[in-house]
């Protein structure tokens, strides 16, 4: 079985550094982390662009904007009602911005309505630069198809799978940030629901068997 670090290195070499989140401000990174779950990054970019055009580029503006208008602006990010509520709640907790990333902060984030573990960990990893792994649907799909961590890993609970991945990688912020971003990129480009195994870098390096899975919806 290939070590997770080897898989990371192949992905980094073939797909290149992803540099998440590609936004210079913490506000932008927080918005990106909240909008990202269950949607392609290109959709997140459209939603962020809409927010910026509307002048919502800080917490005060986010606090003041009408929630229905906010929903319209972030519609491309799907689940926009839930995400609008999460953004509104986050805007009211500007005090959290002054805190260091930690597991205690994770607990505080998880107390906010509509912030689940994936979003909380995404916020910590990319907005607070705290080394914690994010587990999303792409992660589960890719690791399952690679045959890592036992089968089926859909049934492994979130925190158990997160800790398994963390233990399999060096505890390094850059590696954690890039690993998650690379898995998402792999999922978007190749390891789709109907995978494009022939073109996949993990198949070309003979790390993953060309399973050519066709999942029934």
Binding stretches for ligand SF4 (CB under 6 A)? 142, 145, 190-191, 195-197, 200, 202-203, 208, 210-211
Residue 31 or 202 having the CB closest to ligand SF4: 202
The distance of Cα 49 from the centroid of its chain, to the nearest Å, equals 19
Q: Minimum distance from CB of 197 to ligand SF4 (Å)?
A: 3
Give yes or no for a contact between 202 and 7, defined as CB atoms under 8 angstroms apart: yes
Q: Where are the alpha helices (DSSP H) in 94-154?
A: 103-111, 117-126, 137-146
The total of other beta-carbon atoms located within 10 Å of residue 161's CB is 20
Residue 49 or 154 having the CB closest to ligand SF4: 154
Q: Minimum distance from CB of 214 to ligand SF4 (Å)?
A: 11
- Of 210, 174, 139, 175, nearest in space to 5 by CA: 175
Separation in Å, CA 186 to CA 116, 123, 196, 199? 23, 21, 10, 11
Residue 95 or 206 having the CB closest to ligand SF4: 206
Q: Minimum distance from CB of 11 to ligand SF4 (Å)?
A: 10
Q: Minimum distance from CB of 185 to ligand SF4 (Å)?
A: 12
Residue 145 or 180 having the CB closest to ligand SF4: 145
């Amino acid at each position: 079985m290939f070590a997770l670090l080897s898989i990371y290195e192949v992905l980094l070499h073939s797909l290149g550094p992803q540099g998440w989140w590609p936004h210079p401000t913490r506000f932008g990174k927080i918005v990106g982390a909240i909008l990202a779950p269950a949607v392609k990054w290109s959709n997140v970019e459209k939603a962020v662009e809409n927010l910026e055009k509307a002048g919502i580029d800080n917490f005060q503006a986010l606090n003041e904007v009408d929630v229905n208008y906010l929903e319209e602006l972030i519609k491309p990010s799907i689940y926009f009602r839930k995400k609008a509520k999460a953004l509104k709640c986050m805007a009211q907790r500007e005090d959290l911005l002054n805190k260091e990333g930690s597991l205690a902060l994770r607990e505080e984030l998880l107390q906010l309505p509509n912030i689940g573990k994936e979003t909380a960990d995404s916020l910590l990893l990319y907005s607070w630069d705290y080394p914690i792994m994010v587990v999303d649907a792409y992660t589960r799909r890719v690791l399952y198809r690679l045959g890592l961590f036992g089968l089926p890993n859909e049934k492994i609970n979130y925190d158990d799978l997160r800790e398994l991945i963390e233990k399999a990688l060096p505890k390094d912020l850059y590696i954690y940030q890039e690993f998650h971003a690379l898995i998402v990129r792999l999922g978007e480009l190749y390891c789709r629901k109907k995978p494009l195994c022939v073109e996949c870098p993990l198949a070309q390096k003979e790390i993953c068997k060309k399973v050519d899975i066709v999942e029934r919806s």
